[in-house]
Structure 1
């Protein structure tokens, strides 16, 4: 799907796919949208919302829809009963999409100017921008919206800095925190927010979004259901699976782990495929697939009473995550990284 990108590139940008800030299409969250819109009309919208749910289901897109809703209808009694669709023809839409609206502050992982790579956390310097943002006079006396995306990527200093802003917000200020794993947030942050859980997309809604994006959707109902199940109701995961070789990567990992002896040649072919110069998305898919596999093993071990195995696998997961962050942060050899992860996983599978 060809389009002109308006929004700044983010740490999790997918080529040729709209960023949440520039996406006018929100699917599958009608119930949550109606709940938030009704609270706003009634004057009961909590000053801090925590949008929780799996990655890639539209939480950030929901947040930007809410931001535009508040700015289009600054007087609650005049707002529609449901969350208003975003209108790409409005100057307001373009301002928000470009990150240029003076009443919307979007905080996410910043770019490291030295390495030109995105940092692995939402830093305290990003959160400190809130104080400067709120100290300025509100644009035309309307709402100010702060979106932290995702809040569970904040480091400890950033989380503590955000807490101070949540405790005594100025009037007509709306915080929207996005969290894939809200349990990872400070309890004091969670207690100051109203939790809105967004559900994974049902198969029809997911397929509808994928078709709009011209993704390679299976023709059969069984194939579509299988894709939705494997993607966990996440548009992002479905796109990675269908457009960027995610299914092939997952199958390659499975084959390698199933061999009786570690298949060096096959593992190296897989590592070269995901570690090449033009394989940034595939490298991200590989790492996530590897981490998800080990996480599943650890969860299964715990559920079956193998606590020692669960602890061992949890430690392996942490080590793999550390290696992944180091490889991306310091621009290490991605092929060697992938090869190392495959060997560690194969050894764990045979233990």
Structure 2
């Protein structure tokens, strides 16, 4: 069943710059887990992306609030990255899947509560130096949110004034399907019909255009991770092979059914067989009863070229900390996936000073004034 995630970006001033946008999420949560060697702020290369999005904040009594007090200490360092790239824009993300719908439902329910939220957002963003807000409500009108919230959400965001629409064209297949499938295929699978035939980037992006969205406002989602499966029969290894559950947690992400790109590289180095899925223009790999559908440099390049041919506005990456940011796992340099998008989209940062600071985790890890302009992001699953 196809589902939708509605998110919102509010920019403090209109964004002009590169012909294509490259919007990158930084997930702050893993860096507070001492047993997970994940990306820190010092590892971020401010020259890669046109926008960096810090995830996540929350809502309390209709006002924006920090999810963790430690985030307040990070905001200055995060926004100081703009000192090294004066074209860089920073946004603060609020919500996410784990956040739930309760605070959002209350916040959009009345003009007074919406005004309180908007006022708090403007004050908060200006205080801490962000250029805008990313509102990641998953999902208005679904999963405990009453149907009327779709209309109230539209009132909140004033859709006709949007600068960009991000489309989360990933999580299109996973262990919930009961069979193997690609996380973010460009084209439909020859073996799938009905609703599942819609689970591909081309269909989703074409549908947005068909509904009237301007292609230049549409930002295509790119995942720096893959979904994993345990095969029910290790002799059946293709697309659509029976699966009984998600794959084993990765050593760093520690999530059943999901591996970061750098964890997939380790899987490939340890004897997995990689297959290029020509029909859908993405790879998959398997070893024994373990199977993963993912993206690599080749698929990112192909998708970015397709994005350009179709005159879309750019790319969005979840999340740069899942790319091989140290360069110590995939032997493809630092940030190989995100760098591929930067090169292919020709995202320039002429005023950018240097690259990331020395990584906290090395190879040994393996043993403002202005008018608020809203930007909607849509995820289709």
Given the two structures, how large is their TM-score scaled by the length of structure 1?
Answer: 0.28
Higher relative contact order (CA 8 A, sep 6+): 2
Report which of the two structures shows the higher radius of gyration computed on alpha carbons.
1
Greater strand share, structure number: 2
TM-score (norm 2): 0.27
